[in-house]
């Protein structure tokens, strides 16, 4: 290998290393965010565990409507205190199943905030 070739391969290798390191940093940053309680992960939880009854926007799916789920965007729900919404999500109510064994307290609180964010815009 000539000196020039060696230098080129070092440049090339360090470029790859930089890309990998940058990728790792980005990846761990997004994992931390997903593990946090921010809106994006609550939204994903809602889509995965709640939307089958409450619909993707909280209005109620076909299944949900047949069970008479309330419109989560409505004043009636938005007027209820956080603690009550959290209790319903954790312990269930009527046709609503309890989620305390499948969701952490932090996830339940993030969901309450997510339900708040669905509030109908006037």
What is the greatest pairwise CA distance in the chain?
77
Q: From the CB of 85, what's the least distance to ligand HEC, in Å?
A: 4
Q: How far is the CB of 11 from ligand HEC (least distance, A)?
A: 52
Q: Does residue number 67 form part of the binding site for ligand HEC (CB under 6 A)?
A: yes
Positions of E strands within 26-88:
none
In this structure, how many other beta carbons lie within 10 angstroms of the beta carbon of residue 54? 23
Place of tokens 């209790």: 87
Q: Write out the two tokens for 73.
A: 């965007």
* Three-state SS at 111: helix
Angle at CA of residue 68, ends 65 and 70, nearest 5°: 95
Least distance CB 40 / ligand HEC (angstroms):
15
Among the listed residues 41, 55, 71, 99, the single contact to ligand HEC using CB under 6 A: 99
Using CB under 6 A, which of 55, 71, 73, 111 touches ligand HEC? Answer: 111
- How many binding residues for ligand HEC (CB under 6 A)? 23
Nearer to ligand HEC, 10 or 92 (CB): 92
- Closest contact distance (angstroms) between CB of 121 and ligand HEC is 18
DSSP 3-state of 108: helix
> What's the distance, Cα to Cα, between the start and end of the chain in Å?
71
Q: State the residues that interact with ligand HEC by CB under 6 A.
A: 49-50, 52-54, 67, 69-70, 72, 77, 80, 84-85, 88-89, 93-97, 99, 111, 115
């Amino acid at each position: 290998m000539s000196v020039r070739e060696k230098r080129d391969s070092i440049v090339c290798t360090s470029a790859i290393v930089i890309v990998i390191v940058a990728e790792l940093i980005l990846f761990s940053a997004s994992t931390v965010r997903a593990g946090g309680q921010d809106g994006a992960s609550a939204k994903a939880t809602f889509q995965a565990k709640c939307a089958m009854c409450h619909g993707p926007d909280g209005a109620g799916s076909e299944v949900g409507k047949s069970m008479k789920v309330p419109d989560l965007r409505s004043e009636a729900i938005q007027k209820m205190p956080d603690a009550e919404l959290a209790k319903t999500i954790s312990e269930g109510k009527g046709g609503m199943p309890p989620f305390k064994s499948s969701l952490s307290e932090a996830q339940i609180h993030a969901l309450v905030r997510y339900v708040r964010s669905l509030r109908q815009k006037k």
